[in-house]
Chain A
């Protein structure tokens, strides 16, 4: 079945560092991918929609200059947390809708990236 791979799984770094997270669709193409953030014991909150060949669409309250998204190809989207601070520490998860059919198909999620800023 379709698989979404996310890398790295865990990052620990100093405040002020920029961190790049990769999201790859392994056996299907994804013109759209989604980036979520999840704080402990909370739900997934959509940050932005990554669009291949065009700019990402950010949800209200998400700083686009802080969270840079690049959809480099039909199988890769990257999220860069620029100048990360402790409050950016969270679990970041990407997803991609599965190709292979019209209309409604489930999204497939990566296993997340645990970001810890010291």
Chain B
């Protein structure tokens, strides 16, 4: 799969390939990061999160990598499936459960059958 920044609106991958979605976050004081998936007409759906004291976290078919030095976050999706087609957003937050989230611009993932 391709690695793209959020300034590119669409990522197209072949079904079964791995996808890598990148995000450059803005606030060096942010200590919590989340990836969301949004399908058409629905609210964002939580995928995976990571705290600033970690640099990698794995879930089911997904991995999030955090590089605080360059304020970079990535989402890796293994064996991409048609159901993964959606818009993906990264979000950052300061400490505290009630702190507000700041969303990145989003990227559309399109999976080719």
- Taking Cβ atoms with an 8 Å cutoff, the residues of A that contact B are 4, 6, 31-32, 34, 41-46, 49, 93, 95, 97-98, 102-112, 114
Least Cβ distance of A14 to chain B in Å? 23
| Candidates B31, B44, B96, B98; contact of A93 at CB < 8 Å | B44
A44-B103, A104-B51, A104-B97 are contacts. A110–B46 as well, Cβ < 8 Å? no
How far is B98's CA from A105's CA once the two chains are assembled, in angstroms? 9
- Taking Cβ atoms with an 8 Å cutoff, the residues of B that contact A are 9, 31-32, 34, 36, 41-46, 49, 51, 89, 93, 95-98, 100-106
Chain A's closest residue to B106 (CB) is A43
Chain A's closest residue to B36 (CB) is A109
A34-B101, A46-B100, A104-B32 are contacts. A109–B106 as well, Cβ < 8 Å? no
Least Cβ distance of B88 to chain A in Å? 11
How far is B104's CA from A98's CA once the two chains are assembled, in angstroms? 21
How far is B36's CA from A93's CA once the two chains are assembled, in angstroms? 14
